[in-house]
Amino acid sequence: MAKIDDFMTVSEAAYRWNIPLETVKNRLKPSVNKDLNKMIDEGLVKYFQKPNSRMKSWIISKQAMEIWFGEQNNT
């Protein structure tokens, strides 16, 4: 597997782990996930937000998904 496959969008993460999209999105809310800022600092997740925009585009590492949801189910 190429190194780039260790990082994914929220939609891809939900698909690869076969979980609802909203479940992944909830992990990206500081009010739900108290460790989110730490994970951002450690480079496990990151986001981009345009100036004057409320929307954030997230990138999630495979490692973050494994911390949150366990190993990826490849079936």
pLDDT in tens, 6-64: 999 999 999 999 999 999 999 999 999 999 999 999 999 999 999 999 999 999 999 99
pLDDT in tens, 44-55: 999 999 999 999
pLDDT of residue 73: 79
Q: At residue 75, does pLDDT exceed 60?
A: no
CA distance 65 to 52: 29
Q: Is the domain covering 3-69 a CATH 3.40.50 domain?
A: no
Task: For residue 47, list its beta bridge partners.
Answer: 58
Nearest residue to 59 via CA among 22, 5, 18, 19: 5
The pLDDT mean for the chain works out to 95
CB atoms within 10 A of CB 61: 18
Nearest residue to 28 via CA among 70, 56, 67, 66: 56
Task: Please report which confidence band the pLDDT of residue 1 belongs to, taking 50, 70 and 90 as the band edges.
Answer: confident
